[in-house]
Amino acid sequence: MAYALIYTAKSSGKTSYWANPGFTGNGKRKYTWDSPNEINFKQLKAKYPTLFGNKSDDRFEILNLANGQKQKITYQVRKVTEVRKEATNPLATHPKMFRKTPYLIVLDRKGQDRKYWSNSQKAFVNTVNDRLSRWQDLDMAKESLRWIVNNQQLKAQYSDGTITILNGQTDQPVLSPAEVAKLVVLQPDQVVKQAKNVTAYQALDQHFAQLPTQADLKVDTATDDELPGIDLSKYDPALIFGAASYLIDALKEQKNVNRLLKRYDGAVLQDYLHVLEFVGLDDLDVDEFTAAFQENRQTRRQIKNLSLLLNALAQSFDPDKFWKALEDDSASNQYHFRSASTAKKLQKLIKPYGQASAKND
């Protein structure tokens, strides 16, 4: 048999089904148990205090879906403090926020309430709301955390606490402190001296006292290594230049992308919500509406991801400096002899153009 948890409102007499989580008037979306003994009413109240907060216990019943019989909930609150303690968890009061985007970045300080990272605020906020940033993909959350811990301007916000990635569904950290530390790129703060046992003056005096001779060219102290190999077919300069040009072209769309994201989060979303608010379910093609709304939100997710990438690229990359550097280092190159006397000697060693290839033919 199947059983459902129902709530009947005292004022209207309307019956709602538990949908795990939340309540619904749609019987098709109800959550069922195989036995009434499996319905742990106390645990549900403790886990979702906001959803049960304004509902009287005596209005709840267990419905036998096979024969329609109902039975009252037998429930006693033994320790009110235990329920209140569970309700203080900010994440538990917003279960829907973390269904599809469970990962968030948090900051814990001893003796203080937890704080949550917000990309829009570029800071840690105190409350769980729409401003805190959440990620569906753990790798994307790690990249955002990597950016935070390597940004010297943000260091003051978290230096006296512990920062990590949290799973909002389980309220458990995903990264250990050691794993977070690996995301930090260490910067050298001093130059290592080449001659450890010789003072700077002695080293310079020895260097300028006499010119090196063949005897100074030692082999036994040479490092046993090989020249690094570069796969030029993989890292083709032309392909890299094309990729850079592609990114710069994409940056030109940053304002349009951000403007489009704002439209999706504002007017477009409100249109869908107004349909839900004003149109009765009987007058609405629920399947078509759900499919259209899902497609709309998936498109909005792609736009948001593109916005995140373009905004990060704009903060860390200056196209004008890039072009200027190329013009200074490459475009101004002139391929001609610099020294007339040297050119005269070298031209005698160079075969006339086309002679070598004609000989090979």
Q: Per residue of the chain (361 residues), what is the pLDDT tens digit?
A: 788 888 888 888 888 888 887 888 888 888 888 888 888 888 888 888 888 877 888 888 888 888 888 888 875 444 444 444 444 566 666 666 777 788 889 899 888 888 888 888 888 888 777 677 888 888 998 899 999 888 888 888 888 889 999 888 888 898 988 898 888 886 555 334 433 444 666 666 666 666 677 666 666 666 666 667 788 778 888 888 888 889 899 889 999 999 999 999 999 999 999 999 999 889 999 999 999 999 999 999 999 999 999 999 999 888 888 888 877 665 555 567 778 888 888 888 887 765 655 555 5
The tokens of 192 are what? Answer: 């290592």
188: preceding bond cis by omega (within 30 degrees): no
- Token match 């037998």: residue? 74
pTM for the predicted model, two decimal places: 0.33
Distance from C-alpha of 183 to C-alpha of 197, rounded to nearest angstrom: 35
- Specify the 3-state DSSP secondary structure of 345: helix
Distance from C-alpha of 251 to C-alpha of 254, rounded to nearest angstrom: 5
- The candidate with the shortest Cα–Cα distance to 145, out of 103, 115, 113, 109, is 103
The tokens of 315 are what? Answer: 């903060």
Angle between helices 286-316 and 254-263 (to 10 degrees): 150
- What pLDDT is attached to residue 292? 94
- What pLDDT is attached to residue 193? 42
The tokens of 355 are what? Answer: 């002679």
The tokens of 164 are what? Answer: 């990590």
**Residues linked to residue 52 through DSSP beta bridges, in sequence order:** none
- Specify the 3-state DSSP secondary structure of 107: strand
Structure-derived torsion over alpha carbons of residues 87, 91, 92, 98, reported in degrees to the nearest 10? 170
Distance from C-alpha of 298 to C-alpha of 292, rounded to nearest angstrom: 10
- Specify the 3-state DSSP secondary structure of 239: helix
DSSP, res 34? S
CB 2 within 8 A of CB 33: yes
DSSP, res 21? S
- What pLDDT is attached to residue 204? 64
Phi then psi for residue 155, to 5 deg, are: -60, -35
Plot region of 222 (φ>0 → left; ψ -120 to 50 → alpha; else → beta): beta
- Specify the 3-state DSSP secondary structure of 57: helix
- What pLDDT is attached to residue 196? 45
The tokens of 127 are what? Answer: 């409350």
Phi then psi for residue 222, to 5 deg, are: -70, 145
- What pLDDT is attached to residue 82? 46
Alpha-helical regions (H) of the chain: 41-47, 49-52, 80-87, 138-149, 155-158, 177-181, 200-209, 237-251, 254-263, 269-278, 286-316, 319-326, 340-349, 355-360
- The candidate with the shortest Cα–Cα distance to 20, out of 33, 10, 35, 8, is 33
